[in-house]
Structures are given as C-alpha cells and as structure tokens.
Amino acid sequence: MRRYLLALEAALSLGAYRLAIQLPVRSLVRSEEAVASHPVVADRLPDDPQARSVRRMIASIERRLPWRSSCIVQALAARSMLRRRRVATLLHFGVTLDQGRIRAHAWLEAGGGCVCGGKAAVGFTPIAAFEKKAVPLSRC
C-alpha cells in the first residue's frame, strides 16, 4: 500500500509542477536561500533511504505518464516530496553552450547524492542553487 501511495504522490507532484512551471521560476523558489552551487557528481547516489525511494519513484512514474516531464518539473516534484518527509534538498540550475545555443538544466541533490537530473547535468556550469533545509518536527 505504501508503494502505491508513493507512486500516486509522484504522479500528482509531476502533474502539478508541469502546470506550475508556467509561472516564473523565481516565484517557485521565492522563500528559499540561495547558496553556492557546485558541479554535479553524477554517480553519487543518496545515502538517505527517503531520498533513494523518491528518486526511484520519480524515475519510474515519469516513464509511465502520457507526457514527458522536463528536468525542472522532475526536480521540483522530487523536492516537494522530500520536503514533506523533512529531508533537506539543494536545487541546482546550470547552463552549457551546445552548437552555439545556450541550454539549461536543473538537478536536485538530497541525502548526500543526486535525486534527479544528475547524469544529464555533467558538463553544465552551475549558475544558481537553492537550499531547502529540513524542517524539524514540532514538539507539542
């Protein structure tokens, strides 16, 4: 049952951020702290079990949806899922020059590794990163 709920959450998050990406990216990261970005280590997998399960589910569900989700949609969906699980994330944006055209890419790190977009980020120059710190459980 847990796996099905995680799959449903991933599908809903991917769909919601597919619509939300029509907004300026600034509005999606408005309340976050900008931090120094660094080049991606693509083969570094998350140590955190929550980050690993979200990573697998986003990749699995994205392949099954009737649309393709861009890198920014996948990163934002995974980030929102991890935020609900109180896992700190680092959302990176990078650019590269490809045959005279500028290409952009987004990737997400959490739990000590890449959650999504890591392999495709090789060769991109990081230009910005936004950190979402883990929110501790409140004590009542």
Residue 140 lies in a domain: no
What is the C-alpha separation between 126 and 56, in angstroms, rounded? 24
State how far the alpha carbon of 90 is from the alpha carbons of 62, 119, 137, in Å. Answer: 21, 16, 20
Residue 82 lies in a domain: yes
pLDDT at 20: 80
Residue 137 lies in a domain: no
Domain enclosing residue 118, as ranges: 2-132
**Which ranges of the chain have pLDDT less than 50?**
none
Residue 54 lies in a domain: yes
Residue 67 lies in a domain: yes
Residue 119 lies in a domain: yes
Residue 33 lies in a domain: yes
pTM above 0.85, yes or no: no
Handedness of CA 44, 34, 74, 2 (dihedral sign): positive
Number of domains in the chain: 1
Residue 139 lies in a domain: no
pLDDT at 19: 82
